[in-house]
Amino acid sequence: MSLKAVLFNFNGVIIKDESIHLKLIDEILVQENLQPGRVQEHQASLARGDRAYFQDLLKNRGRVVTPEYMSVLLTRKAQAYLLELEKLEKLPLSSGIEDVIFQIRSCHLKMGLVSDSLHQEIQAVLNAAKLTEYFPVIVSGDDITSSKPSPEGYLLAVERMNQVYPELNLQPDECLVIEDTLAGIQAAKRAQMQVVGLANTYPFHMLQRQANWTIDYLIDLDLQRVQEVFLEKDVKSAVPEC
């Protein structure tokens, strides 16, 4: 087993924009004559897609909406997000994102992105940050029916990787995932992938309990050591038991 691909989460790994999302969702709730999110609800939103989070918020407030109206709310929120990005002098990208991308490309590994966020939000950030070319495979909230900790997004990413790179013959256990939330780590683990926990959203010690590796900053990623561990596992699996 060798490492062939690195899959990134988006919010909290590529860009630290959780506060923007929560602010916009709260504004939409107020526009709907509903109470904004409470602290507990905000905490529960981590690693969840907007659709799932909206559904929970509305349910907690006794509001039932049709799938069509939910799409209207999500579209309003996405448009507001794009406007917020335009107001920023500088995108709140994670420190070291360009360095870690350079490191991964130097090792000739493929890259993909797996997120519960909507595709137009992801694409807007990648375009603005000039990172689009590095992520030929993107799985967004538009593509999946269940949010993390479901492994659906990560498994779909493997399928799409193999469509883009047929010669790769990528398997889930040949992927490394970079995640910043507990639900995201659980999703990757359920997909049989190894995970680097990035302490952008949760404290280091909480991620350390679940991730295979934990780092404070992307620049701390020791990709050479990670590759060695993948190869060690391959050697051990090839040794017959006595």
* Cα–Cα distance measured from residue 53 to residue 75, given in angstroms and rounded to the nearest whole number: 14
**Are 147 and 48 spatial neighbours (Cβ–Cβ below 8 Å)?**
yes
For residues 118 and 142, the answer to whether their CB atoms sit within 8 Å is yes
pLDDT along the chain (242 residues), means of 10: 94 92 91 88 74 87 90 92 94 95 96 94 96 97 90 98 96 97 94 96 93 96 93 57 35
H helix and E strand count, the chain: 10, 6
User: Model-level pTM?
Assistant: 0.90
Q: For residues 218 and 225, what is the distance between their CA atoms, to the nearest angstrom? A: 15
Contact 24, 81 (CB under 8 A): yes
CA distances in angstroms from 121 to 4, 43, 115, 145, 150, listed in the order given: 27, 21, 11, 18, 21
Token pair 């709310």 is at which residue?
Answer: 73
